Chains A and B, each alone.
Chain A
Amino acid sequence: MFEIDWNILLPSLVVAGLVLVVLCVDIIRPDNKGGVSGYLSLLGVGVAIWVSLSLWGRSPTHGLGGMLFLDNYALFFNLIILAGTGLTIFVSTGFLEREEGGRSEYYLLILAATLGMMLMAAGADLIVIFLGIELMSIALYILVGFFRRRTDSNEGSMKYLLLGAFATGFLLYGIALVYGSTGTTNLREIELAVAQGRVYTHPMLLGGVALLIVGFAFKVSAVPFHMWAPDVYQGAPTAITGFMSAGPKAAAFAAFFRVMVASLGDLSGDWSGAIWMLAALTMTVGNLGALSQRNIKRMLAYSSVAHAGYVLVALVAANERGIAGGVFYLLAYAFMNIGAFAVIVALGRKGDENLEISGYAGVGFRHPGIGLAMTLFMVSLAGLPPTAGFFGKFQIFSAAVEAGYIWLTVIGVLNSLVSVYFYLGVVVSMYMRQPVGQAHAVSMTPFARVALLTASLGTLYIGLAPTSLLQMARQTVSALL
């Protein structure tokens, strides 16, 4: 009989329990529109954040038959994921009411996806990482198509499903080949097998690694596996688009970094060239694609592709500063991007989501608070000081220079310059164009205000006083190197 260290499971158990509670609420009160479930979910997410913080700084352990890790790395990602979930729920309450799409399954699915993401960040075995990815993805397929009478929502959902399942096939084949060549799916044992040269056939292992990279590249929307991102981001309900760009992306990177650096780090000579190409392509195609977009959700989708490229630069560097920078950047990105989507939700009306960037003309004068917040998020996404985006990008690029990847850094910085054009285009539209048509009153629920305020303060705080959070990010690195 082996002892179970419950602490390892605790953060996931809280969220799993929450999923069941929300499910029961739905059974007891089938006519509810999701209000109660929303409040309960917020409460539970708060508890999960508190639990994750209270476990911070313990010596890293792994348990449950070597299936899960409990280390600062997993806990830090729990915080990113839970912050993303919490902000999304704050934004969603008013959004669902306005679109009259409120059902409590919505929160159930968001929480199930959150649980999957937490398992991806904590997984110590490829089985757990696979199950986490699927739990997250299946919940997201449904959420993207949540407004089932809207053709764009369904269509996004179908494309996401087909391409997501296709990517899962590659990921699984990769896992099978790694299993066949090392004889295990446990990340620590894979690391040992590679280090000691107990590899059945080397070419098969490399084939497996290549397929794993393809699978993960789909999940983080890296070019050339990004085709789904613009369609899915545009089709999904706006609150869900914000959710998808923060948590799931961070969780996919969590698993990607852990598998590549911790388990397959000894093979980095073989894979870093491939990731180099992916990073350079992802940054360039993402930013160039965003230049010509008129729809703000589609523009932010390409921007999200480009940001995946910046984080891939951190994976290429794969040194202490790089990993800390990548982790830190994902936290900053969660705040600024969900903030931007909270603004998009606030500026839409029922039946007219007002998604054209030209429709933002004059917003800065009509709604000064919202205009100011949007300016902050756009400046941060563009990576200008004194915001979170600048500091994160600075960490990643200096790590790449430290590791000797000068050209990749040059490509990254040039891309950042290009991105300033389309991010500030939104600001120009808000402040320097004459508004067309009548002014519409913006009615934000108190919850949506809280979300917008939290995201703005988070973006500013991370940019102005990054020391303590960066310190936390550095403490996560020992799990991988």
Chain B
Amino acid sequence: MAVATSHYLILSAILFSIGVAGVLTRRNAIVIFMCIELMLNAVNLAFVAFARHLGQADGQVFVFFVMAVAAAEVAVGLAIIIAVFRNRETVDVAEVNLLKW
């Protein structure tokens, strides 16, 4: 039985929402970062589903770009989080709050 495109899109929307909720509620920088990755992968799923539905390769090509960029972002992001940890010995975003109003 073929799975309809709408199922993929609903799954993608659910994953994206979980990612957004995680970013907004979690306090650990690494977990926030993982939630952002979840959002990006939800987008990838949507792209692939659309590409299959439209019978084109464009969406799949876009996914490669998203994956490459996400990898670059992770490399830089983890380096920055490590730099913060070395200075402050915490990556809790509620405690990292020198800069305020």
What residues of chain A have their CB less than 8 Å away from a CB belonging to chain B? 127, 130-131, 134, 138, 141-142, 145, 148-149, 151-152, 154-159, 161-162, 165-166, 168-169, 172-173, 175-177, 179-180, 183-185, 230-231, 234-235, 292
CB distance from B84 to the nearest CB of A (A): 5
Give residues 32-91 of B contacting A (CB, 8 Å). 32-33, 36, 39-40, 42-43, 46-47, 49-50, 53-54, 56, 58-59, 61-62, 65-66, 69, 72-73, 76-77, 80-81, 83-84, 87-88
| Cα–Cα distance between A148 and B87 once the two chains are bound (Å) | 9
* Docked-complex contact B99 and A235, CB < 8 angstroms: yes
**Nearest chain-B residue to A130 (Cβ)?**
B65
A-B contact pairs, 8 of them (CB 8 A): A138-B76, A162-B32, A165-B73, A175-B43, A176-B46, A180-B46, A180-B54, A292-B101
| Cα–Cα distance between A148 and B23 once the two chains are bound (Å) | 25
Complex interface: chain B residues within 8 A of A141 (CB): 76-77, 80
Given A141-B77, A169-B43, 15 other A-B contacts at CB below 8 A? Answer: A127-B61, A130-B65, A131-B65, A149-B87, A154-B84, A158-B29, A158-B96, A162-B29, A162-B33, A162-B77, A162-B93, A173-B16, A173-B46, A176-B46, A292-B101
* Docked-complex contact A156 and B36, CB < 8 angstroms: no
| B1-41 interface bits toward A, Cβ cutoff 8 Å, 1 = contact, 0 = none | 00000000100000010011001000001001100100110
* Docked-complex contact B46 and A169, CB < 8 angstroms: no
Complex interface: chain A residues within 8 A of B80 (CB): 141-142, 145, 154, 157-158, 161
Complex interface: chain B residues within 8 A of A175 (CB): 43, 62
* Docked-complex contact A184 and B58, CB < 8 angstroms: yes
Q: Which of the residues A138, A151, A165 comes within 8 Å of B98, measured between beta carbons?
A: A151
Contacts across chains A and B counted by CB atoms under 8 Å: 115
| Cα–Cα distance between A179 and B50 once the two chains are bound (Å) | 8
What residues of chain B have their CB less than 8 Å away from a CB belonging to chain A? 9, 16, 19-20, 23, 29, 32-33, 36, 39-40, 42-43, 46-47, 49-50, 53-54, 56, 58-59, 61-62, 65-66, 69, 72-73, 76-77, 80-81, 83-84, 87-88, 93, 96, 98-99, 101
CB distance from B100 to the nearest CB of A (A): 8
CB distance from A235 to the nearest CB of B (A): 6
* Docked-complex contact A169 and B19, CB < 8 angstroms: yes
Complex interface: chain A residues within 8 A of B87 (CB): 149, 151, 154
| Cα–Cα distance between A400 and B81 once the two chains are bound (Å) | 44
* Docked-complex contact A176 and B43, CB < 8 angstroms: yes
Complex interface: chain A residues within 8 A of B42 (CB): 173
**Nearest chain-B residue to A183 (Cβ)?**
B54
* Docked-complex contact A234 and B99, CB < 8 angstroms: yes
Complex interface: chain A residues within 8 A of B40 (CB): 168-169, 172
Complex interface: chain A residues within 8 A of B81 (CB): 158
* Docked-complex contact B16 and A169, CB < 8 angstroms: yes
| Cα–Cα distance between A152 and B99 once the two chains are bound (Å) | 7
| Cα–Cα distance between A151 and B84 once the two chains are bound (Å) | 7
**Nearest chain-A residue to B23 (Cβ)?**
A166
Given the known A-B contacts A151-B87, A231-B99, are A169 and B76 also in contact in the complex, defined by CB atoms under 8 Å? no
Counting chain B CB atoms within 10 Å of each CB, which of A151, A165, A177 scores highest? Answer: A165
Complex interface: chain A residues within 8 A of B83 (CB): 145, 148, 154, 157
* Docked-complex contact A134 and B46, CB < 8 angstroms: no
| Cα–Cα distance between A159 and B40 once the two chains are bound (Å) | 18
* Docked-complex contact A162 and B66, CB < 8 angstroms: no
Q: Which of the residues A138, A156, A176, A177 comes within 8 Å of B99, measured between beta carbons?
A: A156
CB distance from B101 to the nearest CB of A (A): 8
| Cα–Cα distance between A169 and B32 once the two chains are bound (Å) | 13
Closest 10 CB pairs of A and B: A169-B39, A180-B50, A176-B46, A231-B99, A172-B43, A134-B69, A165-B36, A154-B84, A148-B83, A151-B87
Complex interface: chain A residues within 8 A of B96 (CB): 155, 158
CB distance from B31 to the nearest CB of A (A): 11
